[in-house]
């Protein structure tokens, strides 16, 4: 794969699941639960780090691959959830940024 995009990755994930007959298990409920577990595994890596240590986590040869793998797991389950629910994740994010720009105008404090 020379160029990555969301649709290609979603197809790869769907093909991976189909080849293993996992589709019956890829319900929205199960995918959200798996997403939560993977996000928690990412949190676990950072749990007791100081802010400074967390900013340098990718410099740690033991932690960096774990962070990368957990980010990939989170993204995989999120993309699978979007596929099952018919959500375009990039369009959803674009619309959310639009709403946040209106909700939090530049120059206004918290």
In a domain, 109, yes or no: no
pLDDT, one tens digit per residue, over 16-65 is 999 999 999 999 999 999 999 999 999 999 999 999 999 999 999 999 99
| Of 69, 73, 6, 65, nearest in space to 35 by CA | 73
pLDDT of 1 over the 50 cut: no
The total of structural domains in the chain comes to: 1
In a domain, 36, yes or no: yes
In a domain, 110, yes or no: no
pLDDT, one tens digit per residue, over 87-101 is 999 999 999 999 999
Of 102 and 1, more confident? 102
pTM of full prediction above 0.85: yes
End-to-end Cα separation, the chain, in angstroms: 43
Looking up residue 50, the CATH number of its domain turns out to be 1.10.287.1080
């Amino acid at each position: 794969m020379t160029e990555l995009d969301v649709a290609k990755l979603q197809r790869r994930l769907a093909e991976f699941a189909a080849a293993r007959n996992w589709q019956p298990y890829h319900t929205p409920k199960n995918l959200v639960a798996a997403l939560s577990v993977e996000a928690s595994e990412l949190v676990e890596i950072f749990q007791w780090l100081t802010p400074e240590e967390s900013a340098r986590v990718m410099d740690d040869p033991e932690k960096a691959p774990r962070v990368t793998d957990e980010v990939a797991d989170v993204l995989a389950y999120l993309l699978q959830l979007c596929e099952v629910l018919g959500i375009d994740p990039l369009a959803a994010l674009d619309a959310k940024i639009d709403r946040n720009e209106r909700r939090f105008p530049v120059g206004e404090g918290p």
